[in-house]
Amino acid sequence: MSEPAPPSNSAPAPGTDDGYWSAHFAYDPARAAVWKELAAEIQKDVPPGAELLDIGAGYCYFVNHVQAKARHALDLDERIKNYAEPGVTTHIGACTKLDMFGDASLDVVFASNIFEHLTREEFEQTIGEVRRVLRPGGRIIIMQPNYRLCAREYFDDYTHRTVFTDWSLSHWLQARGFNVLRMRPRFIPGDFRSSRPKWPWMVRLYLKLPFRPFAQQMYCVAERS
């Protein structure tokens, strides 16, 4: 049986298509195993009893493994329904318009490798919507390429449209009504498909290191004021 076509990201750049996503983000069970370890680490920042939304959930690698009172996954592509496990509620739509959620209705919004694909205007719209749907004290958790650490290859992905560093992302969030609780400039490598740590036990060991070689992605937790 052939593998189902991959779903798109939350907000793909103009001109992206199934060919791009098939080439760059084909479903990989080994990647799901890596995300199980990452989710266990991120779980520390997800309060017990939280209502959580994963925007641009794609293959639901994260939301399938995190523990929360309610788990929601959002993507533009309806094929997200093929990957969400029981207990995960799927929503079809863009991250720039979260009309399916009421004001102050969520505790955590998670975003992994989404914002670099948005324009500045789309990012502003998304952050505004995230702030609207979060309860006071609610959190946005972001995993994101840190341009300061990967400038040379950042635009090798031709769908990257906006640049973020740990400094600029922190200050951008603060200017939009968030308090940054944690910023880790070096969290994980830019691509676990490479020769960098990709087996679950290697990921667990890597996440315990005080200094993480090859790390190019940052990790940010910010609280809605």
Round the average pLDDT of the chain to a whole number and report it.
88
Confidence of residue 23 (pLDDT cuts 50, 70, 90): low
Please give the helix or strand (H or E) that residue 51 lies within, else none.
Answer: strand 51-55
User: Tens of pLDDT along 84-100?
Assistant: 999 999 999 999 999 99
Mean pLDDT of 129-133: 98
The pLDDT of residue 22: 57
The pLDDT of residue 14: 33
User: Tens of pLDDT along 145-173?
Assistant: 999 999 999 999 889 999 999 999 999 99
DSSP 113-154: S-GGGS-HHHHHHHHHHHHHHEEEEEEEEEEEE-HHHHTTTG
Confidence of residue 196 (pLDDT cuts 50, 70, 90): low
Percentage, residues of the chain above pLDDT 90: 76
Domains of the chain as residue ranges with CATH: 18-224 (3.40.50.150)
Q: Which of 174, 137, 172, 179 shows the shortest CA–CA distance to 51? A: 137
The pLDDT of residue 8: 37
User: Tens of pLDDT along 25-46?
Assistant: 677 777 888 999 999 999 999 9
**pLDDT higher than 80, residue 7:** no
